[in-house]
Structure 1
């Protein structure tokens, strides 16, 4: 009888997600849990008028923060600061101008073998609010698309963990505030890190991945990559290999050119990590006619493209989190902003 009880207990442990060798997992199985239907469901809520354009420090941004907190709690992903505290407070005194207190969202997936090493997956969840006539800037693409993409990526990691495949390194899901006010939330995090920056392996930053720009009309199988080769040759090569193995998206490096006049490398939250010599990749669909207009709405999103791009980010994060050695930084960032 005792032997039968022991066998039953062991079977129950494995069925509940006991730790398995992550090398035996097929990450594409979990990438495929990122679906157009769930992305659409999230975004039609997150970029609705109810959230009032998610202006930093304003009631709509607070509602968006609560939405993200609830989603992480539903996935049983703990708060990075412990004690169910998903909000890293960004005080008004840190901002320039008349801006109220705000919050970064910090959820955390503890690694199984190298928990002290952190892979950050980031997006900004703020937008620009409303105009004087009450029109809402919904920010479905900027950056509702990246934010709901992270929720789906988080769910994919959760499903892998339930099957026993916990990543070797820890994952920080970081939804920052105040990007539209000058990358303030990510600047605050990197100056007040929850986990030491010297232990931060990489930042994969997602800012606008739900649309097709005019340069790729009729092609939803592309993504602009910016910064992948700036600090770590290994990261760039890993990124290319993961894409070739699993997704075969057209990786467009147009905006990675140091002489590009748009200077996108310096214009989203990854740059505050890069300034600290943390390797980054910035995922971006390019600008379009609805950029920073009230017409940036969920019905304009190409959900097939959004799903494919989010899958690529997940698969890249999976590879970074599970490789034997952390990425080597073989270049140094020069602050030329």
Structure 2
């Protein structure tokens, strides 16, 4: 993050009338059979989000080899190659309109906004096209840059924002599993890894001013920035801060809370859910560049802990079971938004 300077969803389906037999011989309507099939697909996909997989990827993303992933650095580019290969291996493509997994963020763009001496960098985009409403886009985002190496010491950024990076990767895997089972999302999902967050939210600002998909068609941004630790105020609790979920849409907070109750029932903490909060967290991560363009957002966050922006933010300090639960919450929220009959409304300013 930028420093300040399981019961299942019942989805509405369009199905033919009539009845169908299920394995126990009971006769049910085709709509009931179809809904049950979707529920099974959701549960199967949900279960692919595992602590051990999050840990495996994070030990790479936040390794010494990545040299702290400073914007445009060789270490960040190595992390990017790992991420792109991950998506290729899963069979998740890049957006056709982009022609690559990489969206270049030019040095000149960052320099004009105060990012002096930064080289060219890249956002990384992977994409699953919707089956029924492909032009409506659900964005799941996280920044994959960190603050690099200082005085020969690597700042690994395991929580900030390695945790969000691997969560997005795992959520993509879950959606791809559902797609392979014949239940791909109705709306398209963009998995957006942005650069330059630590220097000024540059990657998300570049995307919002050069969107691959029109922002008018962007339904929501679920942004994940630090979800692998706890802060002193919540030590040992099963919680997550949620910021911004009712700023633009009265529906988004309700959807997220329902997703939480039907899965891990974490404590949803709204302490920072106020633009006037002294920490100003609503403005300090990449969701803000969507919110200021009238796209509903929810920002998932674990708080300011003792290793924030220090070289001690290492992968062995991550609470992987809690990271799993938080990732599952974001996936479940995204699943509902992607598959509900109508897109969520923007009814607040």
Q: Could you say whether these structures have the same fold, taking a TM-score greater than 0.5 normalized by the shorter chain as the test?
A: yes
Task: Say which of 175, 191, 199 aligns to 2:193.
Answer: 175
Task: Say which of 6, 29, 37 aligns to 1:24.
Answer: 37
Identify which range, 240-249 or 227-236, moves more after superposition.
240-249
CA distance in 1, matches of 2:339, 2:178: 13
Task: Say which of 270, 277, 281 aligns to 2:294.
Answer: 277
2:247 aligned partner: 230
- 1:190-216 Cα distance to aligned partner (Å, 9 max, x none): 000000000000000000000011111
CA distance in 1, matches of 2:98, 2:141: 22
Contact 2:275 2:283 (C-alpha < 8 Å) held by counterparts: no
Task: Say which of 160, 176, 180 aligns to 1:162.
Answer: 180
1:326 aligned partner: 343
Q: Call closer, same or farther: CA 1:80–1:21 in 2, change over 3 Å.
A: farther
2:14 aligned partner: none
CA distance in 2, matches of 1:280, 1:34: 22
Q: CA deviation at 1:246?
A: 1.8
Q: CA deviation at 1:74?
A: 0.7
Q: Which runs of 4+ in 1 moved over 3 A?
A: 20-24, 81-84
CA distance in 2, matches of 1:22, 1:210: 33
- 1:64-120 Cα distance to aligned partner (Å, 9 max, x none): 111110001011000114586100000101012111000000110000000000000
1:125 aligned partner: 144
1:91 aligned partner: 106
SS at match of 1:25: helix
Q: Call closer, same or farther: CA 1:104–1:83 in 2, change over 3 Å.
A: closer
1:35 aligned partner: 50
CA distance in 2, matches of 1:83, 1:260: 37
CA distance in 1, matches of 2:275, 2:141: 23
- Residue segments in structure 1 that go unaligned for 5+ positions in a row: 1-19, 333-337
SS at match of 2:347: coil
2:94 aligned partner: 79
TM-score, length basis structure 1: 0.90
Contact 1:115 1:170 (C-alpha < 8 Å) held by counterparts: yes
Q: CA deviation at 1:24?
A: 3.4
Does 1:240 pair with 2:231? no
TM-score, length basis structure 2: 0.87
Q: CA deviation at 1:247?
A: 2.1
2:126 aligned partner: 107
Contact 2:97 2:212 (C-alpha < 8 Å) held by counterparts: no
Q: Call closer, same or farther: CA 1:71–1:22 in 2, change over 3 Å.
A: farther
Does 1:137 pair with 2:155? yes
CA distance in 1, matches of 2:144, 2:120: 15
- Residue segments in structure 2 that go unaligned for 5+ positions in a row: 1-32
CA distance in 2, matches of 1:184, 1:91: 10
Q: CA deviation at 1:23?
A: 7.0
